[in-house]
Amino acid sequence: MTTDEPRATGPDYRLRSMLERGEWVLSAEVDPPRGLSAEAGLRAAAALREAGADCVDVGDSPMATVRMSAIAFAARVQQETGMEAVLHFASRDRNLMALQSDLMGAHMLGLRSAIALSGDPPSLGQYVGASAVWDVKAEGLIELIATLNAGRDTAGNEIGGRTAFTIAAAANPNNPDQEAEMARLRQKAEAGCDVFFTQPTFDFPAVERFAERAAGVGRPIVLGVMVLASARNARFMAENVPGIAVSNAIVERLEAAGDGAAEAAVDLAQEFVEQVRPLCAGVYLIPTLGRLAGTIEVVRRLRAQSPGGTP
């Protein structure tokens, strides 16, 4: 799939422009590999572009699992496919100096969109002896990126220009304390974020309540939607992953599908996106267990319904 030379034209930076024009964004998550070869992920990114995705999200060692550098993989995705990569960027693994160095390096490599995250604690993964740094948490990281966008580092030194990052931040429509959630959203907006990317959910009433309240914050919402792999996978997510809402009805529907659970999961994701579409500025699809075929199919179906990408 890949070529030896980068694409002659630059990446198609469309996230910011689509949000500014009120066009509906369709993204999907492709995590970096756990080893040295990026070819499978690059093929998946190319397939998502062909299916009609506007951009891809690149995770930063999610679930505290060691993976290839998200910056390196995201830059390679842009070089190989010409599609914008939205970098998940966590403060968990980097001190204040490394955060700024890595962001300047990411900008030099052509990345222009970053989701500022605190990151999952190491205790969630296999590397329990690893130390979480967290010189800043998400709000502080947003401020840091905004400072680089203003042409300075956190010590006030000029950096010879301004970065041009679209700054995204996390939001959680599943939080039972929506008053506290809105307070965090307002804090992140004041710190400089441009758009919110949410935790995944399949809870439509929760999305309705969240969207109504979040409208007052004045930032677009890109909703996270998982493409589940099986009934077992859905039940695990519901019972063991904090902040993710998967109802018993969804688990039961996948169980009833038997050998057709993968197709039923695609149907569920498509149906849910169609339901929430009027409530958000876009969605980003999240595959589970590394199974990207279903996610690619959801993108293909959604784009076939609305080729222009508008609501």
Model pLDDT for residues 32-46, shown as the tens digit of each residue: 999 999 999 999 999
Give residue 309's pLDDT.
46
Instruction: Find all residues with CB under 8 Å of 268, minimum gap 6, and list them.
Output: 202, 228, 250, 253, 254
Strand partners for 57: 29, 86
In tens, the pLDDT along 74-111 reads: 999 999 999 999 999 999 999 999 999 999 999 999 99
Place of tokens 């309540």: 209
Q: Are 231 and 289 in contact (CB under 8 A)?
A: no
Structure tokens at 15: 């996230």
When pLDDT is averaged across residues 240-251 and rounded to a whole number, the result is 82
Residue 2 has pLDDT above 60, yes or no: no
User: How far is residue 191's CA from residue 139's CA, in Å, rounded to a whole number?
Assistant: 7
Picking from 57-61, 131-135, 268-272, 306-310, which range would have the lowest pLDDT averaged per residue?
A: 306-310
User: pTM of the full predicted structure?
Assistant: 0.92
